[in-house]
Amino acid sequence: MGNQLCKGRKSRTKKRPMGFIHNQASPSHTGIRTVGVEKVCNFSTDSDLCISIATWNMNGQVTFEDLAEMVGSNREFDLLAVGLQEAPPCPRNKVEPMLSAALDESHTLIGKVIMQSLQLYLFGPKDARSFINELKVDKQSFGGCGGIIGRKKGAVAIRINYKGIRMVFISCHLAAHERNVEERNSQCRHISHRLFSKFWNPYARPSHITIWLGDLNYRLQGIHTYPARTLIHQDLHRRLHNKDQLLQEASRGQIFNGFCEGTLTFKPTYKYNKGSSNYDTSHKVRVPAWTDRILYKIEDENKMEASLHSYESIDKIYGSDHKPVKAHLCLRLRQIPTKT
């Protein structure tokens, strides 16, 4: 992220910023609403919370240099959520101390949940614990290990009440392969209904916002690899948006009703040759796809506003066959008039 984002929040004035409603979708909205990115943070003086979000399928490898590149040098956020798939599992897990070192003591770990190679970390400022009213974690697994021992499919999640804002972060790794669209849809629905259900009725006190990230594994439908690559190399990858299975299934009302996602201006993040930014040259020559995504849903737009300030892939990281994806999201609770 550039230094133009979110230059701190010294004032708490409640003047409503212009240009915000178009960055939200009603909970009744069918499918995913694609929103634009506002390069300058309109909430720079009165946002209640700014969140940096990153997701990465690590392909079983980790280096400090890659994690430091993913976290970046900009610290203009309150919370940092990092969802990892195919991470080196415990007891070989070195991810947590590496992330902490990459943050250089600006933020501290306030929550984590690990299910083998599926991991989610939440970092906040050093005084964060004084603002946490509630923090719970949960996980849901699917059968099998995704074809490779120790590489788990499913979802891990953190629910937190921070400064009065109730948030759910979900990091998932769904079924692979182009043909398994209905299986991915089913897994999304299963995750939505089962996470945290053993703790309480989530509908009795819903979160203000749900942020869903991960390797969702939706592919491009109805296009062969070489025509797709030609469009990408010509910087015409926006022409592939109508081939994206996630957007297709959402438009059918199958998944992610009421969610928002930034415009896919970056190249498909899968599948690369490790150590390079060249797409797969194995005998499978896989069709590139936007498998790695970050979406969010405001439960009640009368109570909260949201603004997206970046949505991008990090091409400079070469340690995996996926590129990480990162977003910057700012939130503000609306003042609810008091009844007299």
Instruction: Dump pLDDT digits (tens) for 331-340.
Output: 999 875 444 4
pLDDT at 212 over 60: yes
pLDDT score of 30: 74
Q: What is the pTM of this model?
A: 0.90
CA distance 323 to 292: 8
Share of the chain above pLDDT 70, in %: 82
Quickly state the pLDDT bin for 237 (edges 50, 70, 90): very high
Lowest mean pLDDT among 215-219, 296-300, 335-339: 335-339
Residue, of 89 and 71, whose pLDDT is higher: 71
Quickly state the pLDDT bin for 45 (edges 50, 70, 90): low
pLDDT score of 39: 76
Strands (E) located in the chain: 32-35, 49-57, 79-85, 108-115, 118-124, 132-141, 154-162, 165-173, 209-215, 259-262, 292-298, 304-313, 325-333
CA distance 136 to 131: 15
Write the pLDDT tens digit of every residue in 13-36. 333 332 333 355 555 567 899 999
pLDDT at 93 over 90: no
Superfamily of structural domain 34-333: Endonuclease/exonuclease/phosphatase (3.60.10.10)
pLDDT at 282 over 80: yes
Spell out the domain ranges in the chain: 34-333
Residue, of 196 and 325, whose pLDDT is higher: 325
Tell me if 20 sits within 8 A of 38, measured CB to CB.
no
pLDDT at 219 over 60: yes
pLDDT score of 25: 55
- Tokens coding 31: 């499918």
pLDDT score of 201: 56
Geometric angle at alpha carbon 57, from 234 and 286, rounded to 5°: 45
Share of the chain above pLDDT 90, in %: 77
Quickly state the pLDDT bin for 142 (edges 50, 70, 90): confident
Quickly state the pLDDT bin for 157 (edges 50, 70, 90): very high
Lowest mean pLDDT among 141-155, 210-224, 275-289: 141-155
